[in-house]
A and B are shown apart, each in its own frame.
Chain A
Amino acid sequence: MKLRIFILFLLTAVMSSCSTGLGTTQNPVFSGTVLINTTAPEGSGVANPPVFIWQSTGLSYEVVGVFVNPISVQGKQIQNINDCIAIWDTGMAGSDGNVSFTLFKQVVNGNLTSSSASLSSGHTYYWAVWAYDSQLDLTNSSAQVTFVAP
Chain B
Amino acid sequence: MIKRDSLFYIAAIFILTSGMSFSVTNSTNRITIAIPDFKNISGNRGYDFLEKTVAESLTTSLQKSGKFNIVERQRLLEIMEEKKLVLSGLADQDISGEEKIGALASADHLILGSISSAGSRVEINARLVRVDTGEVLLAEKITEDMGDKLFTRINDLADEIILTLSGEKTGLLDLDSTPRGAEVKIGDQSLGETPITGKKMSPGKYSATLLHDDYEIGTVNFEIEADRKTSVNEALDKKPERVLYNFFGIGGHPVDAIGPDYQLDWDLSYERRIGNLGLGLELGTIMFWHTYQDTNAPGTVFQDTMYLNYYRADLFLKYYLFPDSTFVTPYAGGGIGFTIIDNSIYSLSQTALYYKGIVGLCFLPANKFSFYIEGIYSGLGTVTLNEKRFNLFGNYTLSPDQVSLNNFLFGLGIRFGF
Q: Which residues of A contact B (CB under 8 A)?
A: 30, 60-61, 63, 65, 73, 75-78, 81, 84, 87, 89-92, 110, 112, 132, 135-138
Contacts and interface: CB of A to CB of B under 8 A. Distances in A.
A133 B304 CA distance: 12
A30 B395 CA distance: 10
A61 B393 contact: no
Interface string B363-395: 000000000000000000000000010111111
A65 B394 CA distance: 11
Contacts of A87: 298, 392
A114 to B, nearest CB: 11
A14 B391 CA distance: 38
B297 interface: yes
Contacts of B392: 63, 87, 89, 110, 112
Contact of B388 (A30, A76, A89, A135): A135
10 contacts: A61-B297, A61-B300, A61-B302, A78-B394, A89-B298, A89-B392, A110-B393, A136-B294, A136-B297, A136-B304
Nearest to A112: B298
A136 B393 contact: no
Determine the interface band of chain B, counting residues with CB < 8 A from chain A: 10 to 19
A73 B393 CA distance: 9
Given A89-B298, A92-B299, A136-B294, 20 more contacts: A60-B300, A60-B302, A61-B300, A63-B298, A63-B392, A75-B394, A76-B394, A77-B393, A78-B393, A89-B299, A90-B300, A110-B393, A112-B298, A112-B392, A132-B390, A136-B297, A136-B302, A136-B304, A136-B388, A136-B395
B396 interface: yes
A138 B298 contact: no
Nearest to B300: A91
Nearest to B394: A77
Contacts of B393: 65, 77-78, 81, 84, 110
Interface in B10-69: none
Nearest to B393: A78
A60 B388 CA distance: 15
Interface centre among B300, B388, B392, B393 (most CB of A within 10 A): B393
Most buried by B among A63, A91, A92, A136: A136
Contacts of B299: 61, 89-92
B123 to A, nearest CB: 92
A138 B390 CA distance: 10
Nearest to A92: B299
Nearest to A74: B394
A34 B361 CA distance: 59
A137 B300 CA distance: 15
A30 B299 CA distance: 22
